[in-house]
Structure 1
Amino acid sequence: MAASRSTFGALLRAWRDRLSPADAGLTATAGRRAPGLRREELAQLAGLSVDYVLRLEQARAKNPSAQVVGALSRALQVSRPERDQLYRSAGLLPPQDGTVSTHVPSGIQRLAARLGDVPIGVFTADWALVWWNSMWSALHGDPSVLPTAERNLARALFGNGAARATLYSIQSERGQDAFEASIVADLKDAASRYPADGQLDRLVQELRAGSDAFADHWATQTAAAQHTTDRKTIRHPEIGDILLDCDVLIVPGADLRMVTYTTASGSSDEGKLDLLRVTGGRTATARP
């Protein structure tokens, strides 16, 4: 086991050194000596503490969870074989075929990172948020403050936990009922394609038991449209209401959804989005 922990730490260090800050969506400062990501940058991208990443690299931390290994593999933009190697070196089984994949291909991460002016979030087939940029955090609030299991759109809409409590008000042009029905339709589709995924099954059972609205949508025999393009008004606590075009781009071969928000050029909403870009979602009067 000690040898496995040492291998895990060595892989983290080697793959951190090879990833350029630009490809990770970070700005490289002058006088930078690190060949790749700094340890604190990896911690930021993975939603972990710097001390924990240090202990993992030095083989002083034992038994990282599957969620931690998944977050690190996405932050490091590793290939699927490398991801599996990282899981095995942590003493874990790699994600199995037939379950919802949380792997985000490095090319998708680089593409999203280079569109830094656009709020982008990447979701899995069960609407779990697995990647986002700083503009997404500015628009919706920082997902890293939530437990990993709560970073899920279905839980934000229908659950009773932190995700629902922290979600900014979002109004769909198609109506809230249609928006909610489309998310349930997506989960139904995912459940039919991943019947062996225990985590997805637990999510569905939890929401069916805890939300009458979810249970009603799940029970309906009428096929709802899946969630794609929409116009949404987001009630931001500092900027106010922002009307945005929301587009859902499907990533072929990866079963991922890349959600983007844009505004019409020259509109007042474009100005609000520019303000978010500058302030990170915090105005001068915002409390710390």
Structure 2
Amino acid sequence: MDRPALADFLTRARARLTPADLGLPPGARRRTPGLRREEVAQVAGLSVDYYARLEQRRGPQPSPQLLAALARALRLTQDERDHLFHLAGHEPPHRHGPLGHVRPGLLLILDRLHDTPAQVVSDLGDVLAQNPMAAAVFGDLSARAPRERNLLLRWFTEPDTRALFPPEDHHDLARAHVASLRAARTARPGDRRAAQLLEQLLATGEEFTACWERHEVARRRSGRKRLLHPVVGPMELECEVLAAAGDGQLLLVHTAAPGSDSASRLELLRAVGAPVPA
């Protein structure tokens, strides 16, 4: 681990950003340009003291999960993300792995959607980034290990995840999840992450196995979702699926019809700011 170079790189990366780059309010007058340490720590989901020690060359070696969070918070490019991992003494993760790097431009779009639930997921269903509204609607995954954020694993192993959707929709949603996984796995011959995920899912029980044996194939598509939110009640949302070219990442944006009850409930949820426990 190269502590001096790591500290210098973090400091310079922080200095080139503004609060607006991360969707944060400008705050009081600033003596120096760039983000404050507490703002980086807030977006990355770590303590200000820990981040300060990294910039002061006296912090412990960061974990790969923490480095991935810092790369997203500092809007690093793919090359910069890999450099950050090397400085901290880790091998950069595979681009399609559960720590998949989200491009700064995609994160900027996510930040701008302050009143709309949106999240970036991989083609295998790994949730790579959420905005606060997505956390409030679908559950805040920021404290979870990367491999615990997968949409399919949560669907087939966690009753609370299913409870967000009407029971009569469960069968079709399960089939859609599995069909999307098959399409992604076929496009990744020999991919270790895809093979491991399939092995985990086959061990969850008969439901996944039965869906898998249907050999249905379909990528994630835009469509309507019905939700039973525990705080604001039932909602109907349109899900738009936007693909990021060439890197297997999708931006899922959920909207409600203007003037509808669902739109009012989304606005109430934004005001309350209470994320679903995940």
TM-score scaled to structure 1, two decimals? 0.86
Contact 1:25 1:114 in 2 (8 A): yes
- Say yes or no: does 1:190 pair with 2:188: no
Compared CA separation, residues 118 and 189, structure 1 to 2 (3 A): same
TM-score scaled to structure 2, two decimals? 0.89
- Say yes or no: does 1:179 pair with 2:178: no
**Aligned counterparts, 1:211-230, within 5 A:** 211-221=205-215, 223-230=216-223
The alignment covers a number of residue pairs equal to 276
Alignment-mate amino acid for residue 29 of structure 1: G
Residue 285 of structure 1: aligned partner: none
Alignment-mate amino acid for residue 110 of structure 1: L
Contact 2:20 2:26 in 1 (8 A): yes
For the residue of structure 2 that corresponds to 1:64, the secondary structure is coil
- Say yes or no: does 1:154 pair with 2:147: no
Residue 241 of structure 1: aligned partner: 234
Residue 66 of structure 1: aligned partner: 64
The percent of aligned pairs where both chains have the same amino acid is 37
**Aligned counterparts, 1:28-177, within 5 A:** 28-33=26-31, 35-96=33-94, 102-159=100-157, 164=158, 166-167=160-161, 169-171=163-165, 175-177=169-171
Q: Deviations over 1:79-119 (max 9, x none)?
A: 11111111111112223467577121111111221121111
RMSD value, Cα: 2.5
For the residue of structure 1 that corresponds to 2:90, the secondary structure is coil
Residue 260 of structure 1: aligned partner: 253
Residue 12 of structure 2: aligned partner: 14
In structure 2, how many angstroms separate the alpha carbons of the residues matched to 1:95 and 1:192?
21
Compared CA separation, residues 277 and 99, structure 1 to 2 (3 A): closer
Compared CA separation, residues 34 and 232, structure 1 to 2 (3 A): farther
In structure 2, how many angstroms separate the alpha carbons of the residues matched to 1:185 and 1:122?
19
Contact 2:183 2:218 in 1 (8 A): no
In structure 1, how many angstroms separate the alpha carbons of the residues matched to 2:131 and 2:255?
14
* 1:56, distance to aligned residue in structure 2 (A): 2.4
Greater Cα shift, 145-154 or 114-123: 145-154
For the residue of structure 2 that corresponds to 1:118, the secondary structure is coil
Residue 244 of structure 2: aligned partner: 251
Q: Deviations over 1:229-287 (max 9, x none)?
A: 221122222111111111211111232111111111111111111111212137xxxxx
Alignment-mate amino acid for residue 253 of structure 2: T
* 1:36, distance to aligned residue in structure 2 (A): 2.2
For the residue of structure 1 that corresponds to 2:14, the secondary structure is helix
Compared CA separation, residues 200 and 151, structure 1 to 2 (3 A): same
Alignment-mate amino acid for residue 261 of structure 1: H
Compared CA separation, residues 194 and 231, structure 1 to 2 (3 A): same
Residue 286 of structure 1: aligned partner: none
* 1:174, distance to aligned residue in structure 2 (A): 9.1
For the residue of structure 2 that corresponds to 1:265, the secondary structure is coil
- Identify unmatched segments of 5+ residues in structure 2: none
Alignment-mate amino acid for residue 75 of structure 1: A
